Amino acid sequence: MIGGIVMILVALWIYQSAMRAKTSNVMMWVAIGAVVFFVVQLGFIDVNLYILEAVRGGEGGSDYERDLTSIGDRKNEGGFQGFGGVLLSLYLELMPSIVGVLAAALIRVKFITKEPITVGNLFGDIKEMFQSIKQSFKTSSEK
């Protein structure tokens, strides 16, 4: 759910940046950015599954098989107790989206805006994106 919302925001961010940079094939770059975000996020989710299995691997024997239909609360099981468990849960939930945004930001800076890669350039235009979203919710009498 978080990844889907972030993907929409990334697509909007790339679209607005491409329009400001007057790039040709704007929709192609939006699609490339969204696909890169999605692929990187899926890759990190797969890495997170290996981490989860390593943490919980001691619970089963040689016939242990991960139950793919069990989606219950895992925070109270395995290695998820205490402060370290909270940090591990936060990592497993947020890192795929964060790395996906970084990958899309690199595509945006390198190929769309063609600026040098700096922290300011990587995350530029995010404030403007949220301001335009805010403006879109205002009625014509409020503007």
Residue 134 near residue 79, CB atoms below 8 Å: no
Q: Is 62 inside a domain boundary?
A: no
How large is the average pLDDT for residues 103-108? 94
Q: Does the residue 75 lie in any domain? A: no
Judge whether 47 lies within some domain.
yes
Asked whether residue 72 is domain-assigned, the answer is no
* The pLDDT value given to residue 29: 94
pLDDT of residue 86: 80
pLDDT at 52: 79
Task: Kindly report the average pLDDT of the chain as a whole number.
Answer: 82
pLDDT of residue 3: 84
Report if residue 107 sits inside a domain: yes
pLDDT, residue 67, reads 58
Q: Which domain holds residue 117?
A: 2-57+80-135
> 126 in a domain, yes or no?
yes
Please state, in angstroms and rounded to a whole number, the distance separating the CA atoms of residues 70 and 12.
35
Domain count, the chain: 1
- Secondary structure of the chain in HEC code, one letter for each residue: CHHHHHHHHHHHHHHHHHHHCCCCCHHHHHHHHHHHHHHHHHHHHHHHHHHHHHHHHHHCCCCCCCCCCCCCCCCCCCCCCHHHHHHHHHHHHHHHHHHHHHHHHHHHHHHHHCCCCCHHHHCCCHHHHHHHHHHHCCCCCCC
Is 70 inside any structural domain? no
Whether 6 maps to a domain, the answer reads yes
Among the residue ranges 34-38, 74-78, 126-130, the one predicted with the least confidence is 74-78
